A and B are shown apart, each in its own frame.
Chain A
């Protein structure tokens, strides 16, 4: 049984493109201070950043919960929003429902969810149309990408 060392929760705001990524940057700083391996930090922060961008682009509001244990880092992003109608397609690289505005921000090219899954050792995505999406990931502290 792993021991929980640190837990933090962050509110993610929708449609605030300028602030998107602030939470990920804060988590990166926190993990660096704790002396976590740089490869692990990178994977965690990519997961957080992509998830943050998804909330900003698609959802009404969201929460990112971060839990550090002596074995791994858990990241759960739960949003209230439109949900994902076809999860299998959303996990295909290049498939996207993004608007032109999202693409002008440099996102929405169908890489977000695949990036999240690629960087996590375990990743579970559940979604209900009209209600929202929850992404729960675990990244091992001694894992390889």
Chain B
């Protein structure tokens, strides 16, 4: 599923230059970065409520295709700059984790853990 389709479903605001042609194969959702490192697979979409620098570093290490920050939690500029440097698209939704996951699951995406 393309990232722009997902952005539409979750009514996302784009915070960092998103390549909407990015293809998402699965979803990893957690506020625990080690869980994402343990279970994510390349090209998964990362959903999290953690908006610090480590969320972006985790995304880079785990090779995720993009990050969606849930619950309208807005990262600071330092985080967005790091995401840009590493080519990680950043989206923001006002939906909570449960609702976001439910919508993506209904749309046919699988979870990775």
A-to-B contact residues, CB < 8 Å: 17-18, 20-21, 24-25, 28, 38, 42, 45-46, 49-50, 53, 105-107, 109, 111-112, 114-115, 118
Contact = CB atoms under 8 A, between A and B. Distances in A.
A67 B48 CA distance: 34
Nearest to A20: B54
Contacts of A105: 33, 50, 52, 54
Contacts of A24: 57, 61
Contacts, number: 70
Interface of B: 31-35, 37-38, 42, 48, 50, 52-55, 57-58, 60-63, 78, 86
For the complex, would chain B's binding face be called helix, strand, loop or mixed by DSSP majority?
helix
A106 B55 contact: yes
Q: Give the residue among B32, B34, B37, B54 with the most A Cβ atoms within 10 A.
A: B34
B19 to A, nearest CB: 19
A18 B37 contact: no
